[in-house]
Amino acid sequence: MSIRAFGGDAARKSAMVEAVRPRWESNALLPATILKWDADSEIHSLGGALAETDDRATFEEKTGIPLECAMLCEALMALAVDISADPTSAQGFSMRGPSGILSFGMEWLDAVRPGADLSEVVPQFAAYILGIISSDVFALAGEIEPPVKAVAAQIHALWLRELAGETIASSEWSIVRRKAMAATTSNRSLFGHTIATFVESVAWPVRSLAPEFVALFQTVLVTWMTYLQRPFFSEEEQRDQDHAMIGWQRIDQVSREGGSDEDMQAALDALPESKRVMESTFAPDVKARRAEVQEQARIATDPMLREQMNIVLKLIADA
């Protein structure tokens, strides 16, 4: 059953959106991929503050917006902002980020037409993303092994048929799931590993996948941004990135084989360079250097994020 944005009531939309606008524009609300709302705290997400709830059903009842649509919009902003504790502020944190990214918080809400059915926004965006991943224009195209790209294209084709109204036989999904699992198992590409596991995870009808899509897409988004940031790191830092990816890929392999925590630890112990890099991830100097590079790399990452935002804006406006 579809839901209608703001119940079709323009006055209701205006009251809800205008109540959060000054708080968002003063950086007093967070972009988050879960609803954050606590009446006893000042730490709220944009979506949580919009509906004054951390409950999915209540959010959708009050706003008439599928939660995954709102969370997709916030996910696209979350990776581009820097949030730190700030006891001097009323909300207990400070947030900074480029205006061209943070402006999206109000842009997408302003684009929502009262009465619109936004249930197709995430499925359509998912199809767009999988189309990019299976194409030669994707930034990581050279890192994606042919079997992964091929099965991504097959899933994309099934999604397009589904979105066009066709019912896809379960046998067709079973075939692509087996292919996706085989492609992930055989993958040896470091940057391509996250993409392979994503493709395997989304080998299901796109509408049924929509509530989980944002969490899955975040892994792609992080890898995409990391890849664009890579030239801004030194050669030694890039080698450390490789060691970390080797470690995570090995852990994933052990997990797939049903290994225990002890098995994963043993696997890491056998990769001392990977273990060294992974254990230093949150060291103050490493975090500071990572933040420095992320700032320098905005010239590459911000346009990519903004491009995805513009796609979402069009889907919302066209609904």
Domain identity same for 57 and 21: yes
Note the pLDDT of residue 1.
56
118 assigned to some structural domain: no
Question: Exposed (0-12), middle (13-18) or buried (19+): which is 250, by Cβ within 10 Å?
Answer: middle
Q: 81, 111, 141 — which closes off a domain?
A: 111
Domain identity same for 145 and 180: yes
Domain identity same for 107 and 134: no
Note the pLDDT of residue 143.
97
Please name the residue that has the structure tokens 């965006």. Answer: 125
74 assigned to some structural domain: yes
Q: 59, 80, 111 — which closes off a domain?
A: 111
- At 63-104, the pLDDT tens digits run 999 999 999 999 999 999 988 888 887 777 888 899 999 999
Distance CA 208, CA 8 (A): 25
Distance CA 61, CA 4 (A): 9
Domain identity same for 142 and 88: no
* Residue 169 near residue 144, CB atoms below 8 Å: no
Domain identity same for 160 and 103: no
116 assigned to some structural domain: no
Note the pLDDT of residue 93.
80
Domain identity same for 164 and 305: yes
Domain identity same for 96 and 158: no
Report the number of distinct structural domains present in the chain: 2
Domain identity same for 138 and 77: no
Give every CB contact of residue 234 below 8 A, 6+ residues apart in sequence.
none
Distance CA 112, CA 8 (A): 10
Cα 64 → chain centroid: 22
CB atoms within 10 A of CB 126: 25
Domain identity same for 84 and 141: no
The sign one gets for the Cα dihedral 199, 202, 204, 207 is: negative
* Residue 127 near residue 161, CB atoms below 8 Å: no
Distance CA 188, CA 204 (A): 24
- Prediction pTM value: 0.94
Domain identity same for 203 and 279: yes
- Tell me the mean pLDDT per 10 residues along the chain, length 319: 90 98 94 90 92 97 98 96 82 86 98 98 98 96 97 98 97 97 94 96 97 96 97 97 95 92 94 96 94 96 98 98
Give every CB contact of residue 309 below 8 A, 6+ residues apart in sequence.
73, 76, 101, 104, 107, 108
Question: Exposed (0-12), middle (13-18) or buried (19+): which is 242, by Cβ within 10 Å?
Answer: middle
68 assigned to some structural domain: yes
CB atoms within 10 A of CB 296: 13
Distance CA 66, CA 210 (A): 10
269 assigned to some structural domain: yes
Domain identity same for 50 and 171: no
How far is residue 252 from each of residues 47, 97, 264, measured CA to CA in Å?
33, 33, 9
Domain identity same for 240 and 159: yes
Structural domain containing residue 243: 129-318
- At 255-304, the pLDDT tens digits run 989 999 999 999 999 999 999 999 999 999 999 999 999 999 999 999 99
120 assigned to some structural domain: no
Structure tokens at 114: 């009262």
